[in-house]
Amino acid sequence: GLNARNQDVTNYLNWVALGKVYESAVPLKVQGAYESAGLAYNEAFRRNSKNPGIYMLMARLEVANGNLKQAKNYVFSAIQLKKDYLDAYFLLSQIEVADNNLKGAIDSVTAASIINPNDPSIFFQLGLLKYNAQDFKGAITALEKSISLSPEYANAKYFLGLSYEVTNEHE
């Protein structure tokens, strides 16, 4: 990471590479890793402030450090720059789940399903979140959509079967 940065300090990607190296040490509680990753990402942002991916890197860093509120702020900033940024909606849903906000997670994945209505994994995730929120009718709708897009999706079939069982739709 340092070698990349030293080769060309004006290239934001070199700062991103350095930040990723430091970020990988954050979960290990390496002293100074969080701060160093933040400095590198801030420098990358300074050099390319229109790139929503840098906000996502900063959000992931905050998640790794347990700062869910700040992570959400960075995700929202990424979405402001790129309204159809699927990775941002997925990260937001994960943050919401970690923050015990299933409704927020469902809202985030619902937005992703509108952006990409042909991805069975999005509808599976939506169905799973609704199942966990005990919205079994909503889970059935999402899981049926997932299976209509990918008829062999075994996990979707499994949770669809569980949802049918809970709602007494045995046929």
DSSP state of 170: -
Structure tokens, 157: 């079939």
- List alpha helices for the chain, DSSP H: 2-7, 12-25, 33-47, 52-64, 68-81, 86-98, 102-115, 120-132, 136-149, 154-166
Structure tokens, 72: 């959400």
- Can you give the pLDDT at residue 171? 82
Neighbours of 57 (CB within 10 A): 21
Tens-place pLDDT, residues 43-72? 999 999 999 999 999 999 999 999 999 999
pLDDT at position 39 over 90: yes
User: What is the pTM for the complete model shown?
Assistant: 0.90
